[in-house]
Every structure is written in structure tokens, then in C-alpha cells.
Amino acid sequence: MPALAGDIAAGTRRATILRHADPALQTVFPSARDGAKEADEGFFDDPAHAQIVANQRGEILARTRRFVVDVEGSLALDPSTGTPTVRLIDADQQVNMLMFASRIEEDAETEMTSLELY
């Protein structure tokens, strides 16, 4: 089936990159970043809608404690049984709480697992 003109236009239009910045947070923590190496991908027809989502994501990240933890070896986490949760204990960060894993990355070469915890 040939591509429709509208599909071709949508697939070839220029990307727009939007950012969320919290001036109050940047005043207290001038070097604060969300830790992302690349921009998160999203597809919106209207840049205003994309900005709304970027702002909402920024609000969530600004008010939620998030940690990236590297664990030696492979973990037997099965997302089909529910959201994987782990207890994070870190005296330096004053954390002792049950958190859910929002991102799980296993590196077979280094035999390390990286967890992003909320």
C-alpha cells in the first residue's frame, strides 16, 4: 500500500525540541539536570501540547526522589508479575524505602544491571 501524502509529511517534518525548566529549582540547584543523556521522544501534532507534557513531566521529576542504582549481576525481575519493586537503603542519602523500578537495563558484557528507581 503506498504512503499517503499526509503520512509522508508527518514523517519528514522537522523535529521540535522543548524543555521544561523550574526557575525556583534552578535557583537552589543551578546545575540540576534530569540525568537524561538524550531528549525523550514524543510525537505531537501541536507544539503547545508537547510543551504541556514536558511541563507535567518536569513537575513530576521535580517532586519525586529518583535514583539510579547499579547492581552486580543479572536480576530475576519479572514485570509480568507486577511492577518490580526493591527496597533502597542508603544512609548517605537518608533513604530507606520501597521504590519501583521504572527502567531496567542489563549489560551482558559487564554483567551489571542498572535500575532507575522512583
pLDDT per position as a tens digit, 48-103: 888 898 888 877 777 777 888 999 988 877 778 888 888 999 888 888 999 988 88
| Element (DSSP H or E) covering residue 1 | none
Judge contact between 116 and 101, C-beta under 8 A: yes
Most confidently modeled of 1-5, 21-25, 62-66? 1-5
Where do the structural domains in the chain lie, given as residue ranges? Answer: 15-64, 65-118
Tell me, yes or no, if the pTM score tops 0.75. Answer: no
Report helix, strand or coil for 90: strand
Write out the DSSP string of 20-70: ---HHHHHH-TT-----SSPPP---SSHHHHHHHHHHHHHHHHHS--EEEE
Q: Please, which contacts does 4-10 make with residues 24 or more away whose CB atoms are closer than 8 Å?
A: none
Structure confidence by residue, pLDDT tens digits, 31-51: 666 556 666 777 787 888 888
Q: Give the span between the Cα atoms of 70 and 17, in whole angstroms.
A: 30
